[in-house]
Amino acid sequence: MLLAISLALIIEKFILIAVIVSVSLVVAMYATWGERKVAAILQDRRGPNRAGPFGILQPLADGLKLFFKEEIIPNFSSKFLFVLGPALAMLTATMTSAVIPWGDKVELFGREISLQIADVNIGILYVFGVVSLGVYGIMIGSWASNNKFSLMGGLRAASQIISYELAMGISLIALLMITGTLNLKEIVVQQQQGGWGGLLGWNIIKQPLGFLIFLICAFAECNRTPFDLAEAENELIGGYHTEYSSMKLGFFLFSEYINMFISSVIMSTLYFGGYDMPFVDESAFSPNIAALIGVAAVMIKAVLFLLFFMWVRWTIPRFRYDQLMRLGWKILIPLALANMLATGAAILYFNK
């Protein structure tokens, strides 16, 4: 009996992993199409419109093009590390989704199945641990290329990610002081206990400055404009992936869009109620319908954040590198520390 339950649990988790990874890949694939459409709208152009209706088959055409391109590994590169770099970047991008609560529970075949791969008590620490590994993929790939432009791009990416992770972590400490937990699902459940359709329970109301700092740091972590100094074409050709071609280059580009999607979901989970749909009483529906509503809520919030990422890219010009570092160390980190101290003082004052 115990063996059958364990086997069923393993099968459930494998199916859930396959579904979540597949959805992340599809969203990342069509985020490239969405980005080009958003850019076209902002620049008064048509954007991709040849491959399929409204150009919706363009991501498939781009993927086929990358698959059929010649696979080149430079003679003077470290071949094993050259292959390991993009593989590590892609792996860490997909691993982050393991602790995200995509919805509540569904009932299938007489079993309750949680729409979360791993409901761990240290979910936020897991996210930070995996995200921290992502910089190794960029650094390994840039160093293994044996190209000075690539190495400079890798150094920029590493210093940028480390700098902004510090501010991001401090901004989250204030949120954790309010919630009292590192468990992402528990954070979502707490946000459902607010008035006005649940909106007043969202952490964006309690931590607006913390969210703003987290949002800026998310742009930097994903190497998105105005923080895309690691691949500044006017200075570094293509940056850390200059020597890459075919699907190795595709892995680096794909990992950026997956990171954008996962960052959007994490911000929705931490600050915007996660799978909570405002003004909707999920208890009035069956568990399966309520779970689907929760998944829809997460995806809608994530797509809105993705559109914001794209809007900023095609609106704000790129920073200089000294401006990038100054913003991280002299503005965001002091702001995050001040926010943490103010939150602690408010908690002590109102709970005395």
pLDDT of residue 1: 60
Alpha helices in 180-317 (DSSP H): 184-191, 203-206, 208-221, 233-236, 246-271, 287-313
pLDDT of residue 232: 67
Name the residue with tokens 């099968």: 11
> Which tokens sit at 102?
């995509």
Contacts (Cβ under 8 Å, ≥6 apart) of 198: 191, 192, 273, 276, 278, 279
Name the residue with tokens 């559109």: 307
List the end-to-end C-alpha distance of the chain, in Å, as a whole number. Answer: 51
Residues 229, 278 contacting (CB under 8 angstroms): no
**Containing H/E element for 178?**
helix 148-179
Mean pLDDT by 10 residues, the chain (352 residues): 69 85 86 89 85 85 83 81 86 86 80 80 86 83 84 84 88 89 88 76 90 91 80 68 82 86 92 85 78 89 92 83 86 92 87 71
Coil/strand/helix, residue 344: helix
> Which tokens sit at 224?
């998105």
pLDDT of residue 2: 63
The two beta strands, 111-114 and 105-108, are antiparallel
Pairwise CA distance, residues 243 & 185, whole Å: 41
pLDDT of residue 306: 92
Is the pTM higher than 0.85?
Answer: yes
pLDDT of residue 234: 62
pLDDT of residue 5: 64
